[in-house]
């Protein structure tokens, strides 16, 4: 007979414990252990000798190698993030804040694939069929090959997959699907783990490209056990600010492509629109001739993006000045302030410093260091920067400016958008020819960069 056993599982990392604990022993999170029931079935006479595999191990030399065929989605930004398109049989996990546009993105993608003749099955556990139809009417996502179902039972979902035989499957969302054989509530660790494992087997055996929508926690991570991200082939995060119209699609895991690419979309009344030139979007509201504002050329994968960096340095009467940054790691900002104090003689110990990447973009590469240093110095001295300058470079602890990668692409993007000068590391000038319509100034130290930018 089946024996029911109680256990406690962490909702963050999936660690199990026979008794409740206030602090998870796996991830050290507080109040994340929840009670779950586990059914244990005792069987007799079943050992390891009864397990047989159909395939035999073979030498890696004799295995045929080939490029995975990809399905282009007619959305260039999505294809770039995925590495060229959707791989048949892949399992993709998409996460994002509520209302950010995950369902809109996937419904538009489903329509694009259905328009190419592929059978697409869109299963929603959070909306009815009529609600999905209303969104499809607004987006213009209507096609004979796009099938919609509102279901959360795994057995009924399997029947729908067998009857439709889709080539592209969307589950919105994985936290609403439940397996009736698992005695846990939908969204629990056991349910999410078992349902994801089932969709993974279906994707690999049938060759169905499957997309799972995952909820996120208040910290921004995908809800559920960490095992969920290990099981899938690709993890995408759909990011953006509610007060801005654009959205960023970023890959944090991709077995079939790079994780450095981002896709940029703009939310409109008719759905998501691709942004082919993000630099113009981020610089559209940039003020000219003000202190603390610089333009930095950042690389997002293989694409250069020009964004505005704003700094504000103001006198404080408190003993501990504030250091706040948005879009840049505040530890990196503290390092740059220390370099300006030690190497350039700026007394910033009595100044509050604020650094912001205009538009809400997150920059995590060291090439933005030099632009951040110029912005802070410009605001501190109240000296406006030149409106047609682009600055990039990595700053070291001794005040030197280090070389960065893909300098030629950054300069060409600045020249294409009409900028007149580029201040960059001198060591990055080797090996390529500068364009004719732009002046390139190579610097070796932060002091040289400040002299060239602020005079």
Q: Is 98 annotated as a binding residue?
A: yes
Q: Is 100 annotated as a binding residue?
A: yes
Summary count for the chain: helices (H), strands (E): 11, 21
As given in the structure block, the two tokens for residue 191 are 């349910």
Q: Is 99 annotated as a binding residue?
A: yes
Q: Is 103 annotated as a binding residue?
A: yes
Nearest to 175 by CA among 130, 147, 208, 212: 212
As given in the structure block, the two tokens for residue 343 are 């190497």
d(CA 34, CA 178): 17
- Residue keyed to tokens 């801005």: 244
d(CA 207, CA 227): 22
d(CA 392, CA 372): 9
d(CA 294, CA 171): 43
Q: Is 257 annotated as a binding residue?
A: no
d(CA 210, CA 157): 13
Dihedral of the alpha carbons of 99, 103, 105, 109, in degrees to the nearest 10? 180
Evaluate whether 266 touches 245 at the Cβ level (below 8 Å). yes
- Of the chain, the end-to-end C-alpha distance in Å amounts to 84
- β-pairing, 91-96 vs 234-239, is parallel
d(CA 32, CA 259): 30
Q: Is 97 annotated as a binding residue?
A: yes
Phi-psi region of 313 (alpha: psi -120 to 50; beta: other; left: phi over 0): beta
Q: Which residues are annotated as a binding site for ATP?
A: 96-103
Binding site, annotated residues:
96-103
């Amino acid at each position: 007979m089946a024996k029911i056993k109680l256990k406690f599982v962490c909702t963050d990392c999936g660690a199990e414990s026979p008794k409740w604990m206030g602090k998870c022993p796996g991830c050290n999170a507080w109040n994340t252990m929840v009670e779950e029931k586990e059914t244990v079935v005792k069987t007799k006479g079943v050992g390891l000798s009864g397990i047989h595999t159909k395939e035999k191990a073979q030498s890696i030399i004799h295995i045929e190698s080939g490029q995975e065929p990809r399905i282009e989605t007619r959305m260039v930004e999505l294809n770039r993030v995925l590495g060229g398109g959707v791989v048949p049989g892949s399992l993709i996990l998409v996460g994002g804040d509520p209302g950010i546009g995950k369902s809109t993105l996937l419904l538009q993608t489903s329509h694009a694939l259905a328009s190419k003749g592929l059978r697409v099955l869109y299963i929603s556990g959070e909306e009815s069929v009529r609600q999905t139809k209303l969104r499809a009417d607004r987006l213009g996502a209507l096609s004979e090959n796009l099938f919609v179902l509102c279901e959360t039972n795994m057995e009924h979902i399997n029947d729908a997959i067998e009857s439709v035989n889709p080539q592209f499957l969307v589950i919105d969302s994985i936290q609403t699907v439940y397996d009736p054989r698992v005695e846990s509530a939908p969204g629990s660790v056991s349910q999410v783990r078992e349902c994801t494992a089932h969709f993974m087997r279906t994707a690999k055996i049938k060759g169905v490209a499957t997309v799972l929508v995952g909820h996120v926690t208040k910290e921004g991570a995908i809800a559920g056990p960490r095992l969920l991200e290990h099981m899938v082939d690709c993890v995408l995060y759909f990011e953006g600010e509610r007060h801005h119209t654009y959205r960023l699609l970023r890959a944090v895991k991709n077995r079939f492509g790079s994780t450095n690419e981002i896709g940029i979309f703009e939310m409109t009344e008719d759905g998501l629109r691709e942004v082919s030139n993000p630099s113009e979007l981020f610089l559209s509201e940039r003020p000219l001739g003000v202190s603390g504002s610089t333009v930095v050329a950042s690389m997002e994968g293989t694409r250069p993006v020009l964004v505005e960096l704003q700094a504000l340095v103001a006198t404080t009467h408190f003993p501990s000045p504030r250091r706040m940054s948005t879009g840049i790691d505040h530890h990196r900002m503290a390092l740059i302030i220390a370099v300006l104090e030690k190497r350039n003689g700026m007394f910033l110990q009595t100044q509050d410093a604020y650094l912001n990447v205009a538009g809400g973009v997150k920059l995590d590469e060291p090439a933005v260091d030099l632009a951040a240093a110029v912005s802070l110095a410009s605001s501190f001295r109240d000296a406006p920067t030149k409106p047609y300058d682009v600055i990039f470079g990595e700053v070291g602890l001794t005040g030197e400016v280090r070389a960065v990668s893909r300098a030629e692409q950054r300069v060409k993007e600045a020249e294409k958008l009409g900028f007149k000068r580029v201040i960059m590391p001198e060591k990055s000038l080797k090996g390529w020819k500068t364009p004719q319509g732009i002046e390139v100034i190579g610097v070796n130290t932060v002091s040289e960069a400040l002299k060239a930018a602020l005079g």
